[in-house]
């Protein structure tokens, strides 16, 4: 298949930033796109900021007509999208205006397939970036326009599938929050009787086995740190330790269906990582584990803590602490709810967990399918 350098097929337009010192440049009708406007969607519909005609004319930014490819060349190198409306761009982006023999959607998917390569080429001491020359030198397979459109349509269909799977997973998260509020909304009111969390759970800390003894980290017991706390359930960890490591340190075995809470980490500036253990494990000193008594259910307590996330994060950001202290956790108010109702809610959560596991697998397969199509598309295999 014929291949051509991208520089022969597109016109590349740079951007700029109107002076922040002139209020007349901002707040107009022209969307002004920056890196922060790039999510995981492949079409740009709006921007967080807008500029005026005056800001456009008196700066280095350019107006990019709808339907062109916008590539991030500094900071989040390799992100790419097509603008669905006329926009202006800043200096971290480049607009690639396709000539008549290159379809813009075909180019979009080609650049997605080149993302790893573009990231590896990024240079810079502080802010990573790629040059216009590096973009122009990319060699792209160039079948006839009709074939480009066919390939782009196949990739777009695979992309829609993975997004549908992702949206279904996001909806399941919203569903559980809605069920919790529907079942316990009245119990969460200020005037409803409450108790302290310390009356319902046993809270314990963790520890780090000595790094000087390499054998401690050759076991099969998951040792959880904050980097493992990315989902609501913990099945495994990046590191594993031995029983001897636990016996020789402050780390403790935590039973299945315990709650884990990150209490010391920079992540507490933005969110409160919580998880329920799905197997016996241990954790480090930046995490507290909570074992529920017979008067409380871990799935109910988990969502109570989620409901109090903003309150706990404000506590963690206090001037006199680097995180959540034991008293802060112990004093979280928990509504007095019958254990039978808590268990009814837990049954709903566990059913949802099984559905979410299926949804995650469906998403994994859809992501794999999309990546497969991307790589096959530009090897002439579609």
Question: How far apart are the C-alpha atoms of 289 and 252, rounded to whole Å?
Answer: 10
Pinpoint the alpha helices (H) of the chain: 53-57, 104-113, 115-121, 132-136, 145-184, 243-247, 298-307, 309-316, 326-330, 339-377
Q: In this model, does residue 320 exceed pLDDT 70?
A: no
CA distances for 23 relative to 18, 86, 142, angstroms: 10, 22, 46
125 class by beta-carbon count within 10 Å (0-12 exposed, 13-18 middle, 19+ buried): exposed
Once rounded to an integer, what is the mean pLDDT over residues 82-101?
96
Nearest 5°: phi and psi at 47? Answer: -135, 160
Residue 125: pLDDT band (50, 70, 90) is low
Please answer whether residues 380 and 141 qualify as being in contact, where contact means their C-beta atoms are separated by less than 8 angstroms: yes
Q: In this model, does residue 12 exceed pLDDT 50?
A: yes
Task: Work out the percent of the chain whose per-residue pLDDT is above 90.
Answer: 82
Q: In this model, does residue 75 exceed pLDDT 90?
A: no
Once rounded to an integer, what is the mean pLDDT over residues 270-274?
93
What is the signed CA dihedral for 352, 355, 361, 365, rounded to 10 degrees? -120
Share the mean pLDDT of the chain: 93
Pinpoint the alpha helices (H) of 275-338: 298-307, 309-316, 326-330
Q: Could you count the other beta carbons within 10 Å of the beta carbon of residue 219? A: 18
Please answer whether residues 241 and 209 qualify as being in contact, where contact means their C-beta atoms are separated by less than 8 angstroms: yes
CATH 3.90.220.20 residue spans of the chain: 3-142, 194-335
Determine the pLDDT at residue 319: 47
Residue 343: pLDDT band (50, 70, 90) is very high
Task: Note the CATH number of domain 3-142.
Answer: 3.90.220.20
Determine the pLDDT at residue 333: 95
Q: In this model, does residue 322 exceed pLDDT 70?
A: no
210 class by beta-carbon count within 10 Å (0-12 exposed, 13-18 middle, 19+ buried): exposed
Task: Work out the percent of the chain whose per-residue pLDDT is above 70.
Answer: 98
Q: Which residue has the tokens 């309150």?
A: 311
Once rounded to an integer, what is the mean pLDDT over residues 124-143?
88
Beta strands 43-44 and 80-83 are parallel
Task: Note the CATH number of domain 194-335.
Answer: 3.90.220.20
Question: How far apart are the C-alpha atoms of 228 and 252, rounded to whole Å?
Answer: 17
Q: Which residue has the tokens 């636990």?
A: 246
Once rounded to an integer, what is the mean pLDDT over residues 125-138?
87
Question: How far apart are the C-alpha atoms of 227 and 224, rounded to whole Å?
Answer: 8
Across 82-91, 236-245, 314-323, least confident range: 314-323
Q: Long-range contacts made by residues 317-325, C-beta under 8 angstroms, separation at least 24?
A: 317/268, 317/269, 322/264, 323/263, 323/264, 323/265, 323/268, 323/286, 324/261, 324/263, 324/264, 324/268, 324/288, 325/263
Once rounded to an integer, what is the mean pLDDT over residues 171-191?
91
Q: In this model, does residue 32 exceed pLDDT 80?
A: yes
């Amino acid at each position: 298949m014929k291949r051509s350098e991208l520089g022969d097929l597109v016109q590349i337009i740079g951007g700029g930033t109107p002076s922040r010192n002139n209020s007349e440049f901002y707040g107009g009708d022209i969307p002004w796109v920056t890196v922060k406007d790039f999510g995981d969607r492949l079409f740009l519909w709006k921007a967080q900021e807008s500029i005026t005609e005056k800001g456009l004319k008196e700066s280095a930014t350019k107006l990019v007509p709808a339907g062109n490819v916008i590539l991030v060349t500094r900071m989040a190198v390799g992100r790419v999208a097509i603008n669905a409306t006329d926009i202006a761009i800043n200096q971290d982006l480049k607009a690639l205006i396709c000539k008549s023999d290159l379809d813009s959607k075909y180019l979009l998917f080609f650049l997605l397939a080149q993302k790893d390569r573009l990231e590896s080429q990024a240079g810079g001491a502080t802010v990573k970036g790629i040059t216009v020359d590096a973009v122009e030198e990319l060699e792209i397979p160039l079948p006839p326009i009709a074939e480009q459109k066919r390939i782009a349509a196949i990739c777009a269909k695979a992309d829609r599938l993975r997004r549908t799977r992702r949206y279904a997973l996001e909806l399941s998260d919203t569903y559980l929050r809605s069920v919790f509020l529907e079942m316990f909304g009245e119990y969460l009111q200020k005037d409803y009787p409450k108790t302290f969390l310390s009356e319902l759970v046993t809270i314990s800390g963790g520890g780090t086995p000595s790094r000087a003894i390499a054998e401690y980290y050759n076991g099969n017991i998951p040792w959880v740190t904050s980097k493992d706390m990315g989902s609501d359930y913990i099945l495994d960890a990046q590191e594993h330790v031995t029983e001897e490591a636990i016996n020789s340190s402050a780390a403790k075995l935590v039973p299945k269906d315990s709650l884990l809470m990150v209490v010391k980490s920079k992540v507490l500036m933005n969110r409160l990582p919580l998880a329920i253990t799905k197997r016996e494990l241990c954790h480090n000193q930046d995490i507290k584990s909570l074992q529920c008594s017979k008067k409380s259910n871990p799935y109910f307590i988990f969502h109570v803590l989620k409901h109090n996330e903003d309150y706990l994060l404000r506590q963690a950001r206090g001037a006199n602490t680097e995180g959540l202290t034991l008293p802060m956790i112990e004093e979280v108010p928990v509504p007095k709810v019958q254990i039978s109702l808590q268990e009814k809610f837990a049954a709903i959560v566990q059913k949802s967990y099984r559905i979410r596991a299926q949804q995650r697998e469906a998403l994994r397969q859809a992501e794999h399918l999309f990546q497969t199509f991307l790589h096959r598309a530009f090897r002439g295999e579609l």
